[in-house]
């Protein structure tokens, strides 16, 4: 909850500052470069943490297959649910309501086409940063920090948090500089709340299918799914119920959903649709994945992502205990 409040305050501060600088749009050239560099460093640091985490590497062989299969199924059906929802409410693939003026829509499509190269560069940056971090974490961190892993975890965690804080500040700044976020949000209205619930429904449908095809019962499959990618909380709640195997699957699933989302959001945003890209992320749509969504879409879509992630984040500590009884 403290992180949620911090994220919101930073975004509001950034928005306020950006709204006061709309006559100086040249600054976006520098903020964009800073944002890309910060994303690369953030993802590399996250890769270091995961690659050096024995709990992750030790469970790859035993529960990795179930976790991968569940993650891919959940992300696929969550994204499909987002696609069906946007069609039902009259929103196109660029997250623009179809009753808007033709000129505005054409401008949006043109902007999307121009950003194709930038999205490709971002996808490559994400992949290289994550892979480099994972490899360095697996092969070097253990030997360099032998006997001092607690110190490494603290420093890496601090770096991740500071990176997120900077990125959320820049996201708010860019939205304030754009100046059309609130206007676009009003045009969609309360319909935007349909998306997070549709995304969660798609995830639970995938969980039901996974329980039929894999070695995990329905209740535990639902519990894993209800983590929505929040790996620092969901596995702990499950473990408190004495379900060690389910907690391990939950942990691996949350990690994989976060990393797969980081890799796939730019591609899905470019090739499929903006709301479908948000559907991939789960709870991380308001956290780690939010900067990637912002770089791959538009400022007003970032608001949709934040709302989607917020509702799913709040649902985690409520749904898992209810599911497990």
Of 24-28, 46-50, 197-201, the poorest mean pLDDT is in 24-28
Distance CA 112, CA 105 (A): 11
DSSP state, 91?
A: B
Angle of CA points 263, 221, 4, to nearest 5°: 55
Distance CA 151, CA 163 (A): 18
pTM of the model: 0.76
Cα torsion 99, 102, 105, 111 to 10°: value is -170
Q: State the burial class of residue 219 (Cβ atoms within 10 Å of its Cβ: 0-12, 13-18, 19+).
A: middle
Task: Give the chain's domain count.
Answer: 1
Buried b (16+ CB within 10 A) or exposed e, 104-124: ebeebeeebeebeeebeebbe
pLDDT attached to residue 204 = 98
Average pLDDT of the segment spanning 156-171: 82
pLDDT attached to residue 212 = 95
pLDDT attached to residue 219 = 96
Give 226's pLDDT tier (boundaries 50, 70, 90). Answer: very high
Of 44-48, 51-55, 172-176, the poorest mean pLDDT is in 51-55
Q: Within 10 Å of residue 194's Cβ, how many Cβ atoms?
A: 16
pLDDT in tens, 182-208: 666 666 778 889 999 999 999 999 999
Residues 6+ apart with CB under 8 A from 312: 196, 199, 200, 228, 282, 283, 285
pLDDT in tens, 306-325: 999 989 988 998 999 999 98
Please compute, for residue 57, the number of CA atoms within 13 A of its CA located in the half-sphere on the CB side. Answer: 14
DSSP output for 216-243: S-HHHHHHHHTTTT-TTTHHHHHHHTT-
Range(s) of the domain holding residue 178:
2-324
Contact 247, 238 (CB under 8 A): yes
pLDDT in tens, 81-136: 999 999 999 999 998 887 654 344 444 444 444 455 666 777 788 778 878 988 89
Distance CA 161, CA 123 (A): 22
| pLDDT-above-90 percentage for the chain | 33
pLDDT attached to residue 118 = 66
Distance CA 247, CA 253 (A): 10
Contact 265, 295 (CB under 8 A): no
């Amino acid at each position: 909850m403290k992180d949620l409040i911090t994220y919101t305050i930073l975004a509001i501060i950034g928005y306020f500052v950006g709204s006061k600088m709309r006559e100086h749009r040249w600054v976006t050239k520098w903020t964009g470069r800073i944002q890309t560099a910060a994303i690369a460093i953030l993802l590399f640091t996250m890769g270091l943490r995961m690659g050096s985490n024995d709990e992750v590497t030790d469970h790859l062989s035993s529960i990795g297959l179930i976790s991968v299969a569940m993650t891919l199924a959940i992300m696929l059906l969550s994204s499909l649910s987002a696609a069906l929802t946007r069609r039902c409410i009259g929103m196109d693939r660029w997250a623009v309501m179809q009753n808007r003026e033709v000129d505005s829509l054409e401008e949006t499509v043109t902007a999307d086409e121009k950003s194709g190269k930038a999205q490709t560069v971002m996808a490559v940056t994400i992949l290289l940063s994550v892979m480099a971090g994972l490899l360095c974490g697996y092969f070097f961190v253990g030997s360099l920090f032998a006997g001092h892993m607690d110190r490494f975890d603290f420093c890496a965690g601090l770096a991740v948090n500071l990176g997120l804080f900077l990125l959320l500040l820049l996201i708010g700044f860019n939205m304030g500089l754009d100046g059309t976020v609130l206007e676009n949000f009003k045009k969609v209205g309360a319909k935007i709340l349909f998306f997070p619930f549709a995304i969660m429904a798609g995830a639970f449908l995938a969980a039901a299918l996974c329980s039929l095809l894999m070695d995990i019962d329905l209740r535990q499959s639902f519990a894993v799914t209800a983590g929505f990618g929040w790996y620092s909380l969901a596995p702990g709640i499950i473990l408190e119920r004495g379900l060690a195997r389910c907690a391990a699957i939950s942990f691996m699933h949350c990690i994989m959903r976060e990393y797969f989302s980081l890799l796939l959001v730019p591609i899905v945003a470019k090739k499929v649709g903006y709301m479908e890209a948000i559907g991939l992320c789960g709870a991380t749509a308001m956290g780690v994945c939010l900067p990637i969504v912002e770089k791959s879409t538009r400022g007003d879509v970032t608001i949709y992502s934040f709302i989607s992630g917020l509702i799913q984040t709040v649902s985690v500590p409520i749904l898992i205990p209810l599911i497990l009884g």
